[in-house]
Structure 1
């Protein structure tokens, strides 16, 4: 009786147990699960219904129902079909797939690719390769929203991930509003550096008129890239900018950039060439070439975009060959200078070649605490008009370094002889053809150091270290008449002097640890230096304050760097005149950077009777998704703003726009630049930053 009861219960539960456990293998390495499955032996078809799941290789497919042909390895799935591979998803209403080749067709399908956040849809989607798709009546975007901020719609769209998407009859939509039509288009769809057009930059300026920059980025190879920029201006014409960059072995690298335009205003071709190359032959032997050339003297004034470009005084082009040894350094260089402030470059001194040899301080044998070093410089100066010639400078130097009173005092003594030889061509009146100048130099420096450590509980500061370094120095430069030698640079006029200088340096450092945190950091808090000099005889050159011979006392100099916070730094360089009882020059400012995109800086520079201006700037990221930027330079001596720059950037999940405004005397410029994530700007392109210069 009990046996019959058990058999009856088992028969009643058998359908339920079978339904919950239906699983089979469609092919080697493939697993199929579903609520209900049947197998037709004649056709070798497996039919699955209800919560169908198929797993093979690195692919997973789910659907409401599916049929798998084990003979030809084909799959047909219907209803809520999802095909997932490594996070990439293809889903839709109806799927036909060859599981051996990976080729598939999906009706009313959509695609999501994690790399680049690419999203595409189509009435019909064909998977033609590992990462290749053919879409019909579909679209492409990188936006997450159901109604994307932007998308490209096309009747035909072929997509190859990490390469390109090509489309026919393409419409660019903002939301669901059609904006642009393209009969044919090629779009880069790659999250790494790649070739392709970047989004154009639009603008308007006083000098250029309306303009558009169309940049094309060319990823030539893993070690080479180029940016080509077509610059169309309504007032000046059409320009072409190129920036090519490359990497070589042994940390060798270089770049070549240029810009060329036929200027409609000047009725001539104008341009700029910029080149840099570093060839590292070995750890101790390298070659550097740097070319900076413009077609005319006012090119940067008209086309320079930043401060330091449009107001540049001169350009240097040079070729430098350098060799290092343990205690010696030698170099050979050629320097060509374009002086934009001079009336003509025919009077500008050029240097070719210039040879130098420097001996690093080395101990003299058999004599304790005595060291020898050497500076040697030979230059050939030439120019079309004016005095030129050759000059050789040699200065051997002996230095004695001593520690006194068990290291409490440090004494340094030195003596040198500067020898300058000249061979002068086309000398001015009073200048000799050949001349040898010998100037003796000597000096001494006495210094000490006092330090103390304080325990403190002020805020997060646990320990404070204070060090004072007083220094007394003496400098002697012998007197020599140099009026009969030419002036090529500052080395040709060495002022005789006897100067005593007293300085005091203060260094503050602290150990900082937040409450409840075991780790601590050591941080410099302040460096401060006071300096005062007195001339016993002769004159002391000072390019900033222009002291005359009657002023024995130098300016009192204060230099400081103070970290008020890890994000806030104060800088000061003040010079106080004892004779005028006022600050004669200063270069002071403050910098703030919270490491989260918010920065601010302000600096004030003043040199008596020469310049007086304020520079400030800020970037603000607190207004996310809006990011603001501002820089300005104001001249107090001219009573006018030299330059102001404003930028507003709006960053969306899948696009951004930057609006910029620059205000300079005689020129105002508006620019607008769009970026589409994954296609233009964001996540595309390389490291090049060259653009056709915009005034």
Structure 2
């Protein structure tokens, strides 16, 4: 075997690339005399797979060596080297202050500012050897492997560029996207994206002394996916807090399967509880979360949520929760399903199903407003097809009442169901100067107790539109609403009998517009409208819903609408529009007939209707004042009043103050605030106070302590029939770790 010294002497200081020699091109820089700084950059034409990123330019003074030209003379390479080099044109660069090559072993030895790179991914070290046969690189001293924004650091590394495997001593891994930091005495690289530690620690906190970290054995990490480990101990600072036999932690934000962190706590309704979820990323278009629910006061249950996305915009979800309630000795649960299927661009199937085992389920297990006080569940499934001016629809609608009534104190036997419902709607077909429209439907009403039957409705209408003088908007319509019934059971009438009413109306509006300074537009629209519905006696008809009692009326109304819009330009000249203010004031005068308002009481003795004000004011982009109120000018009282002021800021900062009023029904104040208290603390307040009852309907006070990689939230919740103190601990990159509830 020849020594390096004889090799250098024979080639007079120039190091040829084994296996690939150029016929022409830049010459390889010779080694300089001992004691002077030498820079040599060699380009290796080998199929290397471990370092992959975008290509970079050679270091200054580096020589490029291309694949062997046809017919060029070259020294005989070691066995297999030429074949490997010729099979792939990938380029690897090796540069250092001092570089030598041993021909018999085909090994490079580099010292001082060593850099081995391929397509922009670089391995840095103080010293390095690289074998062109085995593709082994061994680096020592200030080892750093950079790949995009991710960095691997250590004292010594062995890396095989073909197998993408290696080993790092006293190393750490940093993944920038999730701020994931991994440390271990012996870090094994088992693949291009895979790592293994017999024992190590990881965190998403910054600094040498992280606020929290996990100490795990048998840890496997896959970049862009997740880390799994056994016998994990969670530390807050240097204090161990809890242990879990198995752990899954997301390394990046992409979806990945595995056990999620459990939820645990205590409540007066559930007792001591523990919920362990498991997440399964089935495919890029579907996932499933299942969980085991243990409650000392209620029993053992389970839950799941399945989500999916299909082609052409189709999507859906299926959710279920249930347990055997040991208190009531029966199974209790819920099922929720939503689906949208785009069968064709014009044909759609949609379903929205929600069912619960009993009326008290949400009162016992619901946790949010709108859930624990829910009054009904409505399930529906529809198939529809659209044409240019027509639409046909068929479906089912099932209502589950969650509030007991005098006629139905126990179950859902008297609740009216629509099984099935058919409709056909047409709009805008032109007949000479007129437009024809049709609204028709057929419904079968079903229930276990009480009258049932069918109702068919036909409502054709002719409309006329004009713009006299190019300024006034004028419309006129007339139609006839016919109903047919077939009933049996209670309130039976003969088949085919029904009733019909004529209706008509007209609208006149005058849009007025003015531009101020080229940036503010004011649109003012005064309007008059008249509505007529023929009044007929209907008490001998069956009553399924309010559609069986058409309100006859003759009302003349007026309205005044104001819209202010601002215009501004982005830096690139793109115009942007924002609605500054929009409000409408309206009222009507009733000549004859009746009025129905399901929201508030209506005094039918008054000819004047309520004065209605609806509007929104946004003086700043994130500040909105909204109003929706009705005033009775005859009795000089407020019928309904909804007034709210909302402001939103960054990082969850917000403020909402609202007043809700409906005469003889609702009268309360609502406030929702989210604001920082100093730098690490963030507070939220939610309260609803009854002005007529003199007490809080619901209140929630929460204080969150935020750090760079974790936060802890303590909340007090007080609502009717339930008081709760809740503590949530959240880790950056992992979400909610656990919740403790104390009553």
TM-score normalised according to structure 1 size: 0.88
Q: 1:134 aligned to 2:196? A: yes
Q: 1:150 to 1:394 in 2, by over 3 A?
A: same
Which residue in the other structure is 1:561 paired with?
616
- Residue correspondence of structure 1 range 649-688 to structure 2 within 5 A: 649-680=704-735
Which residue does the alignment assign to 2:75?
Answer: none
The answer as to whether partners of 1:155 and 1:168 remain within 8 angstroms in 2 is yes
Measure how far apart 1:667 and its partner are.
0.7
Q: How much has 1:21 moved relative to structure 2?
A: 2.2
Residue 552 (structure 2) pairs with residue 496 (structure 1)? yes
SS of residue matched to 1:481: coil
453, 464, 473: which is aligned to 2:529? Answer: 473
Aligned counterpart for 2:438 among listed residues 361, 374, 396: 374
Q: Secondary structure at the match of 1:20?
A: coil
Match of 1:23 in 2: 40
Post-superposition shift, 1:101? 2.8
Give 2:128's aligned residue.
66
Q: Quote how far apart the aligned CAs of 1:257 are.
A: 0.4
What corresponds to 1:257 in structure 2? 319
The corresponding residue for 1:529 is: 584
* Cα 1:320–1:41 shift into 2, 3 Å: closer
Q: CA deviation at 1:623?
A: 5.0
- Verify the 8 A CA contact 1:358 1:375 in the aligned structure 2: yes
Conserved 8 A contact 2:346-2:386: yes
Separation of aligned partners in 1, 2:304 and 2:549: 44
Gaps of at least 5 residues in structure 1 are 1-13, 456-461, 683-690
Residue correspondence of structure 1 range 500-511 to structure 2 within 5 A: 500-511=556-567
Distance 1:678 1:540, change over 3 A: closer
Q: How many equivalent pairs are there? A: 661
Q: 1:26 to 1:634 in 2, by over 3 A?
A: same
2:658 matched to 1:603? yes
- Which residue pairs with 1:636 in the alignment? 691
Aligned to 2:381: 319
Give the SS at the match of 2:363. helix
Query: Which of 399, 416, 419 in structure 1 is aligned with 2:482?
Result: 419
Query: How far off its partner does 1:441 sit?
Result: 1.3
The 1:239/1:445 distance shift into structure 2, 3 A limit, reads same
Which residue among 222, 226, 239 is the counterpart of 1:177? Answer: 239
Q: Residues 72 and 449 (structure 1 numbering): CA distance in 2 closer, same or farther, change over 3 Å? A: closer
Aligned residues of 1:26 and 1:68 also touching (Cα < 8 A): no
Name the structure 1 match of 2:332: 270
Structure 2 residue aligned with 1:336: 398
Q: How does 1:220-619 map to 2 (within 5 A)?
A: 220-341=282-403, 342=405, 343=409, 344-364=411-431, 367-368=432-433, 370-404=434-468, 406-428=469-491, 435-455=497-517, 463-512=519-568, 521-594=576-649, 596-619=651-674
CA-CA distance at 1:281 after TM superposition: 0.7
Contact 2:40 2:98 in 1 (8 A): no
Distance 2:294 2:320 in 1: 16
Q: 1:672 to 1:403 in 2, by over 3 A?
A: same
Q: Matched residue of 1:346: which SS?
A: coil
1:187 Cα deviation from its structure 2 partner:
4.0
Q: Deviations over 1:210-229 (max 9, x none)?
A: 43333322211111012223
Deviation of the 1:325 alpha carbon:
0.8
SS across alignment from 2:190: strand
Distance 1:61 1:213 in 2: 45
Quick one: distance in 2 between partners of 1:385 and 1:183?
55
Verify the 8 A CA contact 2:728 2:736 in the aligned structure 1.
no
Q: Is this contact kept in 1: 2:299–2:324, CA < 8 A?
A: yes
In the alignment, which residue of structure 1 is the partner of 2:69? none
Counterpart CA distance in 1 for 2:710 and 2:656 is: 29
Shift of residue 478, structure 1, vs aligned partner: 1.5
Measured after TM superposition, the shift of residue 239 of structure 1 is: 2.7
Answer whether contact 1:645 1:663 (CA < 8 A) is retained: yes
Structure 1 pair 596/109, CA: closer, same or farther in 2 (3 Å)? closer
Match of 2:154 in 1: 92
Could you tell which deviates more after superposition, 76-85 or 121-130? 76-85
> In 2, Cα distance between the equivalents of 1:408 and 1:66?
84
Give the distance between the partners of 2:96 and 2:128, measured in 1 at CA. Answer: 9
Aligned partners of 1:297 and 1:340 also within 8 Å: yes
Q: Return the offset for 1:25.
A: 3.8
Q: Deviations over 1:647-686 (max 9, x none)?
A: 333443333334343211111233333333334569xxxx
Deviation, structure 1 residue 48: 3.6
1:319-340 residue CA offsets vs partner (Å, 9 max, x unmatched): 1111111111111111111112
Give the superposition deviation at 1:54. 3.3
Give the secondary structure class of the aligned counterpart of 2:413: helix
Note the C-alpha offset of 1:351. Answer: 0.9
Aligned residue for 1:301, secondary structure, equals: helix
Aligned CA distance change for structure 1 residues 476 and 151 (closer, same or farther; 3 Å): same
Question: CA separation in 2, counterparts of 1:464 and 1:24?
Answer: 65
Q: Matched residues in 2 for 1:422 and 1:137: separation?
A: 77
**Secondary structure at 1:250 match in 2:** helix
Superposition deviation, residue 627 in structure 1: 3.4
Between stretches 117-126 and 474-483, larger displacement belongs to 117-126
How far did residue 383 of structure 1 move? 1.3
Question: By how many angstroms is 1:186 displaced?
Answer: 4.4
Q: Which has the higher contact order (CA 8 A, sep 6+)?
A: 1
Q: Over the residues paired in the alignment, what is the CA RMSD in angstroms?
A: 2.9
Contact 1:347–1:386 (8 Å) recurs in 2: yes
How far 1:537 sits from its partner (Å)?
Answer: 1.5
Separation in structure 2 between the aligned mates of residue 137 and residue 375 of structure 1, nearest angstrom = 71
C-alpha change, 1:69 and 1:359, in structure 2 (3 Å) is closer
Distance 1:92 1:267 in 2: 60
TM-score under structure 2 normalisation?
Answer: 0.83
Gaps of 5+ in 2: 1-30, 46-90
Displacement after TM superposition at 1:248 (Å)? 1.0
* CA separation of 1:628 and 1:227: change in aligned 2, threshold 3 A: farther
Q: Is the 8 A contact 1:200 1:674 kept in 2?
A: no
| Cα distance, 1:333–1:502 mapped onto 2, change above 3 Å | same
CA contact (8 A) 2:677 2:683 kept: no
SS at match of 2:362: helix
1:59 Cα offset (Å): 4.5
